[in-house]
Amino acid sequence: MRLKVSKFLVVLLMVGALMLGGCSTQQVSSNSSPTSTATQTSTTTTTTEATSVSATTSESNPVMKDLPRLEGKATVVMTVKGSPITIEVDGTNAPITAGNFVDLVQKGVYDGLVFHRVVREPQPFVVQGGDPQSKDPKFPANRLGTGGYIEPKTGNQRYIPLEIKPKGEASPIYGKTFQEAGVTKPPQLQHKQGAIAMARSQQPDSASSQFYFALADLEFLDGNYAVFGYVTQGFDVVNKIQQGDRIDSAKVTQGAENLKTPG
């Protein structure tokens, strides 16, 4: 019995660390820790809520029209410390989430950003980055993990909805976890080792630019976080990333024509 309880607590704390590393706009000093603790879970709060874009279908949600979409697949090569990581981005099953990522890659947003959270203990979990604030080397490390992409034209942060497609279904569920939506099927894109997914705060629709690589199969995250692709080459590079390492560059090498941007 003690073994089951211990495993449950480890999972709970790991998930807590991931959620708290999302795109909240208030700084909490514990966000920079590469490991999770009970204190982090109990003391971290979010003072501003993401703009709600909750909906069960993209057709019923006008906010979707203002977001990039990836209609098909694309390949992104992310270089870290001179070594390439090849990512297949899946817009067929996660068009908004994949479109957001490819659009930010095209804009050069990820170039020079830091991986601010790396969790390998007590077991392999995630490598997380994508906070635009980390491009500034003088930005305090203990404040990383709180930023998102700011639209230059509006000065507002871009948020995307939680987008997860149930296996065998034609369309994703938007703005709700599978538990909230009453979905019992597994997602089409699952948290297998090498998956890339969006980080978020407690609000389902609070993802912006932060992403994470799954260092192991993380089935307990399925239906709660949006996977949008997989590492197809270079997972050994992902496995060597340390907290504080920077992304040299991220480039779309195939499928750029599948990106559809509003306007």
Query: Does residue 194 form part of some domain?
Result: yes
Query: Does residue 79 form part of some domain?
Result: yes
CATH number for the domain that contains residue 145? 2.40.100.10
Query: Does residue 48 form part of some domain?
Result: no
Nearest one of 22, 46, 237, 52 to 160, comparing CA atoms: 52
In the chain, % of residues over pLDDT 90: 74
The pLDDT of residue 249 is: 98
Query: Does residue 197 form part of some domain?
Result: yes
What is the CB neighbour count within 10 angstroms for residue 255? 19
Query: Does residue 208 form part of some domain?
Result: yes
How many folded domains does the chain comprise? Answer: 1
- Whether the pLDDT of residue 61 is over 70: the answer is no
Query: Does residue 147 form part of some domain?
Result: yes
Query: Does residue 57 form part of some domain?
Result: yes
Query: Does residue 71 form part of some domain?
Result: yes
Q: What is the pLDDT of residues 145-164, one digit of tens each?
A: 999 999 999 999 999 999 99
CB 45 within 8 A of CB 202: no
Give me the half-sphere count of Cα atoms (radius 13 Å) on the Cβ side of residue 35. Answer: 8
The pLDDT of residue 20 is: 40
The pLDDT of residue 19 is: 53
- DSSP characters over 200-222: --SSTT-BSS-EEEESS--GGGT
pTM attached to this predicted model: 0.82
Mean pLDDT of the 224-253 span: 98
Query: Could you list the residue range(s) of the whole structural domain that residue 137 is in?
Result: 2-42+53-260
